[in-house]
């Protein structure tokens, strides 16, 4: 089914707005993660979930045959729901929630296809529907194929997306920017879409927005910069900064861009070619910002201080999630917020 209401009725809230809960998926598998990483990834997922559970409710999806493993690692506060899963990235597989002024909530299903059929996805393609059903929320299926990690909004009419993801033939063949923007306006309630080029084929996501630029507040964007000239992200992050600094939001405000520079080194134990060493993939929950640290004391502290200045009323909690980072992801990728409907 599709949303038939007029444009602007539905709105995707900013992540910093009050949450009803966080959704996660205890979906790491031996086939995807391998023997070395699997135990560490499970510990990382539990660390993230247990930390968030100190601030808001967490619901974790778990395979039926892994319930005992999950229960040993997870806090009793966390609600466990059983479902078969391909992987753990619920930011991309789960529902994206929108609300309206009539105190209604809808779960958007963006037709997850394994980031352009790069990985098995038949089970994970059902996660959005499961989340909607178990959460008691109507599900709406988009005309777009996309992932939640590719969408960043300020909750006030502005979205940031990457061309490398949205306009990729492996998801939306022959889609134009104007066609994509119409769908974003209808489903997310945005009036302004800022397009970043992103980069294709260098990571499994084809360059998700949540590794490049995040809204901290109205008119304020925190953006990643990779200072290593040998990194594939060096030039693209420079290009993104140039675009963002020249952009305005839906209110006509010039964007204030705050840079979070990537660490210059990481710990050796789980270092890999796919290691995602950046601070942008943080998660904003009720009363806190959950962010990574990579063992680069200077860069870790600078990132924490920057986030504290951007979110002065929230506690900044940094976690070692090297196992997940070794698989090319981060904290934000493992979470999906469900907003509270305001009375």
- The catalytic residues are 333
The length of the chain in residues reads 343
Other Cβ atoms less than 10 A from the Cβ of 153: the count is 25
List of long-range contacts for 130-136, beta carbons under 8 Å, 24+ apart = 130/61, 130/81, 130/83, 131/23, 131/61, 131/94, 131/95, 131/107, 131/336, 132/95, 132/107, 134/81, 135/95, 135/107, 135/338
Other Cβ atoms less than 10 A from the Cβ of 340: the count is 16
Question: Do the Cβ atoms of 28 and 88 come closer than 8 Å?
Answer: yes
- Report the C-alpha gap between 93 and 107 in whole angstroms: 12
- Report the C-alpha gap between 160 and 101 in whole angstroms: 23
- Report the C-alpha gap between 174 and 64 in whole angstroms: 40
- Report the C-alpha gap between 221 and 210 in whole angstroms: 11
């Amino acid at each position: 089914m599709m949303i038939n209401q007029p444009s602007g009725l539905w709105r995707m809230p900013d992540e910093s707005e009050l949450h009803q809960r966080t959704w996660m998926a205890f979906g790491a598998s031996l086939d995807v993660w391998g023997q070395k990483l699997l135990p560490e990834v499970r510990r990382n997922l539990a660390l993230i979930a247990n930390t968030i559970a100190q601030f808001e409710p967490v619901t974790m999806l778990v395979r039926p045959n892994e319930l005992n493993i999950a229960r040993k690692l997870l806090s009793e506060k966390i609600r466990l729901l059983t479902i078969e899963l391909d992987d753990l990235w619920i930011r991309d597989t789960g529902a994206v929630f929108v609300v309206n002024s009539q105190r209604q909530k809808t779960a958007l299903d963006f037709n997850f296809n394994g980031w352009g059929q790069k990985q098995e996805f038949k089970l994970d393609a059902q996660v959005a529907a499961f989340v909607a059903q178990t959460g008691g929320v109507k599900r709406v299926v988009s005309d777009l194929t996309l992932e939640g990690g590719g969408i960043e909004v300020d909750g006030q009419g502005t979205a940031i997306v990457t061309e490398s993801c949205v306009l990729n033939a492996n998801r939306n063949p022959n889609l134009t920017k104007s066609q994509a923007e119409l769908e974003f306006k209808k489903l997310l309630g945005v009036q302004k879409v800022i397009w970043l080029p992103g980069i294709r084929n260098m990571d499994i996501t084809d360059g998700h927005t949540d590794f490049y630029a995040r809204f901290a507040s109205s008119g304020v964007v925190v953006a990643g910069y990779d200072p290593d000239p040998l990194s594939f992200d060096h030039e693209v992050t420079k290009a993104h900064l140039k675009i963002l600094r020249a952009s305005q939001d839906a209110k006509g405000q010039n964007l204030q861009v705050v840079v979070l520079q990537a660490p210059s080194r990481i710990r050796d134990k789980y270092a890999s070619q796919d290691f995602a060493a950046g601070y942008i993939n943080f998660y904003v929950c009720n009363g806190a910002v959950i962010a990574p640290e990579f063992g680069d004391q200077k860069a870790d502290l600078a990132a924490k201080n920057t986030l504290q200045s951007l979110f002065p009323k929230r506690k900044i909690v940094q976690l070692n999630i090297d196992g997940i980072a070794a698989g090319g992801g981060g904290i934000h990728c493992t979470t999906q917020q469900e907003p509270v409907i305001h009375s």
